[in-house]
Amino acid sequence: MVDIATRVYNHRWKMDPIVRSLIDTDFYKLLMCQSVFRNRPDTNVTFSLINRTTSVRLAELVDEGELREQLDHIRSLSLSRGESTWLRGNTFYGKRQMFTPEFMEWFEGLTLPPYHLEVRDGQYELTFEGKWPEVMLWEIPALAVLMELRARAVLGHMKKFELQVLYARAMTKLWEKVERLRPIDGLRIADFGTRRRHSFLWQDWCVQAMREGLGERFVGTSNCLIAKNRDLEAIGTNAHELPMVYAALAPDDASLAQAPYDVLSDWHEEHDGNLRIILPDTYGTKGFLDNAPDWLAGWTGIRVDSGAPEAGAETAIRWWKDRGEDPRQKMVIFSDGLDVDKIIELQAQFAGRVRTSFGWGTLLTNDFRGLTEDDVLAPFSLVCKAVSANGRPTVKLSDNPRKAMGPEDQIERYRRVFGVGEQEALDVIV
Amino acid sequence: MVDIATRVYNHRWKMDPIVRSLIDTDFYKLLMCQSVFRNRPDTNVTFSLINRTTSVRLAELVDEGELREQLDHIRSLSLSRGESTWLRGNTFYGKRQMFTPEFMEWFEGLTLPPYHLEVRDGQYELTFEGKWPEVMLWEIPALAVLMELRARAVLGHMKKFELQVLYARAMTKLWEKVERLRPIDGLRIADFGTRRRHSFLWQDWCVQAMREGLGERFVGTSNCLIAKNRDLEAIGTNAHELPMVYAALAPDDASLAQAPYDVLSDWHEEHDGNLRIILPDTYGTKGFLDNAPDWLAGWTGIRVDSGAPEAGAETAIRWWKDRGEDPRQKMVIFSDGLDVDKIIELQAQFAGRVRTSFGWGTLLTNDFRGLTEDDVLAPFSLVCKAVSANGRPTVKLSDNPRKAMGPEDQIERYRRVFGVGEQEALDVIV
């Protein structure tokens, strides 16, 4: 029996929206948003989309009208009652009422601010300007929309069984990864793949496959909507945009040097336990840790998000020991360019020495490498970053010079202020 | 929107029938049935299920109650009006009214005769007795039911994503075969996989994948129901049961020696063109061809269904040349234990020398080898054969002594009558 009503309803759609909820975003965005809403609500920021994989000429692949439709659709969204109830009533990281009534009231009234879209050199220049707490919520949906529109552009040329086999191959590929992870004792792994996912439905499938295949070893997803729908833990803490904006706002070199610690000082007031995770690499991990105040050594863990992850973890372990902390009580979260081989290696190297945890992103939710001719569905390196704050440019260095962002002269200044020496250049996988 | 009516309707089902139509069978069964209905309608035959893969203990895997439900369901089937219209009105092998009004009237009134089921040594002894035209129609549905019940017994223990990944792997595996076949010039290939299919839905998927992937090189399916539903050619000619029963009925050695030719003489009267395909191996290909009357050399082709297929095709080519025929005008149909490597080899060896054609069976519709632990879904060698006719045992020799069937003394007698010498023993794959 055909459900005629469903079919007629579906035919009436003008488009197939990619992002259908304001909580189809990463959990850490909401945590950071609340922190910004509390501490720096009036900061004006500009976020900008940057495609680091220039060989993928997005503006030639993706129709501008379709992109605008998707972005306009996101601007039409507001928090639903059920989403609001979930955010207000759910327990996150063991804590009730993670989100304050003031923040929730603001979020319930929010629609995302306008966007600015131009085409240059075959790429989209997509920028968002306005109050930081509003603009920052564009990052994840903007990335997800562009990733999925690029996939749709490719998929639109495929026949019915080709499509079915494509997804069969992708499922097989992911499941083989799950099977390789299954025997690993003490594994703790989460989905961090929202921003560069192949599509929403595919991410949702991946998350469910991870849950069935890994059981308790799969600790949750960064995606709030999927966490809500699938009754999973929402996972995430904080990201580079906090120190980047705080740093840009610093009036002089002395306060610039202090900015990353100011971020964590604000965070320290707001969060405890497993939410106290240091992201030390924004302006170089080594300098950050060398100059860190002692109270930071009491935090729960460190997230390693650039550079060689083994080196980052060893640096963290040494630092904890130097500060009189027991690394075995500390957590290292690996979240940069992970795939199964690397996860297995890192777990073998660090299990027992620290509490390890893995935030698996692009190669969980978008590993379509090798599944099409000319690899036209391979993931690519698209980011959406704060590029200025109150008119002042932002800078990111990280532990990999290929990930550095910002005006050249400011990069030099930041390298000087933060005492960043030689860095090993590593390929940016995704 | 959930289609509530469909869901309620589905919940009401007592079982999920495997065979839902009397034309969910091989086309050659209907052609042979019409021939038998015309030439030997009153012959009493016994068909018996034989599991040549004794390591698969069917009676321990498959519940007897479920098996009886499925078989009883098949006995409740009769030809629907649409099926009858399709058989009466369709063009088969370029011919209208392939099935006579007399045969169709009989078929429309048919329900399958009772079955007899016992368990012995972990195997089902399933036999069918009665008039040949009725009993013979049990063969394909009985095999399909047992193959699918065995698969269901295994699948019943799998979790949701395990199942999805199993089929993803099977789809990927089949599609890789299709992709290997796609570049082969002049390929003509058909689905012959009904009897040992993994399941009806899987066969249907395989057929559609072949059509999309191979286009015109996929010439059709032996399955009448799928041919009807998918608007494909129904493919098939005749099988061993005709010479086996004719031979069993022969009163003496002289008429025994003549029996296989009597079969084809009857066929000659009824069919022409691409339906005139010799199946020479029932009692040894070499002797059959050596002693064949000249009019048989005028037939369109030969089906090679046992022994080394290269040797069978070379024998056919030599025979045609000896009889003054041009092999390039003749067709060789390979149909025994085929898989992609063998198809590619045979096509490379024989393209241009004869018109080649491939009837791809078990390893098209049931290649689940390597997809589960302990290979519990690997296909196995189940057959359902005429074992006696009017109380006399049947015998099959074929070109592979491991496929020989019948009482030992009768096998010896047949080997003597048909002058079968040394035969190469080959593993029976499926």
Residues B51-68 have pLDDT tens digits of: 999 999 999 999 999 999
Residue in B2, B6, B168 nearest the CB of A171: B168
CATH number of A160-365: 3.20.140.10
Cross-strand partners of A223: A26
Taking CB atoms and an 8 Å limit, are B171 and A165 in contact across chains?
yes
Question: Which chain A positions have a beta carbon within 8 Å of B3's beta carbon?
Answer: 1-3, 6
Taking CB atoms and an 8 Å limit, are B172 and A172 in contact across chains?
yes
Q: Can you give the length of chain A in residues? A: 430
Q: How far is CA B290 from CA A373, A420, B259, B303, in A?
A: 52, 90, 15, 16
Structure tokens at A35: 């922190």
Residue in A164, A208, A213 nearest the CB of B171: A164
CA B91 to the chain's CA centroid: 21
Predicted local distance difference test score (pLDDT) of residue B360: 98
Residue A62, SS3? Answer: coil
Residue B20, SS3? Answer: coil
Q: Which residue on chain B is closest to A175 by alpha carbon?
A: B165
Q: Which amino acid is at B62?
A: V
CATH number of B167-365: 3.20.140.10
* Chain A residues contacting B via beta carbons under 8 Å: 1-3, 5-6, 9, 159-162, 164-165, 167-169, 171-172, 175, 208-209, 212-213
Predicted local distance difference test score (pLDDT) of residue A167: 96
Cross-strand partners of B220: B190
Cα separation, A204 vs A212, in Å, equals 13
Cα separation, B30 vs B194, in Å, equals 14
Residue in A2, A3, A175 nearest the CB of B165: A175
pLDDT in tens, B365-381: 999 999 999 999 999 99
Question: Which chain B positions have a beta carbon within 8 Å of A172's beta carbon?
Answer: 165, 168-169, 172
pLDDT in tens, B298-343: 999 999 999 999 999 999 999 999 999 999 999 999 999 999 999 9
CA-wise closest residue to A232 among A31, A20, A90 = A90
Domain ranges of chain A: 160-365
pLDDT in tens, B23-37: 999 999 999 999 999
* Cα dihedral across residues B292, B293, B297, B299: positive or negative: negative
Cα separation, A193 vs A182, in Å, equals 19
ipTM field? 0.87
Predicted local distance difference test score (pLDDT) of residue B262: 97
* Cα dihedral across residues A318, A320, A323, A324: positive or negative: negative
pLDDT in tens, B218-252: 999 999 999 999 999 999 999 999 999 999 999 99
Q: Is the pLDDT of residue B142 over 90?
A: yes
Min distance A11 CA to chain B CA atoms (Å): 14
B423: Cβ–Cβ under 8 A, 6 or more apart, which residues? B284, B307, B399, B400, B401
Predicted local distance difference test score (pLDDT) of residue B351: 97
Cα separation, B94 vs A80, in Å, equals 62
Predicted local distance difference test score (pLDDT) of residue B12: 80
* Chain B residues contacting A via beta carbons under 8 Å: 1-3, 5-6, 9, 159-162, 164-165, 167-169, 171-172, 175, 208-209, 212-213
Cβ(B323)–Cβ(B294) below 8 Å? yes
Question: Which chain A positions have a beta carbon within 8 Å of B175's beta carbon?
Answer: 161, 165, 168
Cα separation, B219 vs B399, in Å, equals 27
The list of chain A residues with pLDDT below 50 reads: none
Mean per-residue pLDDT over chain B, rounded: 96
Question: Which chain A positions have a beta carbon within 8 Å of B162's beta carbon?
Answer: 212
% of chain B at pLDDT higher than 70: 99
Min distance A301 CA to chain B CA atoms (Å): 33
Nearest-5° Cα angle at B179, B173 to B183: 155
The DSSP 8-state label assigned to residue B43 in this structure reads -
Cross-strand partners of A126: A117
Which among A161, A177, A211, A212 is the top mutation candidate for probing chain B, defined by the most B β-carbons within 10 Å of its own β-carbon? A161
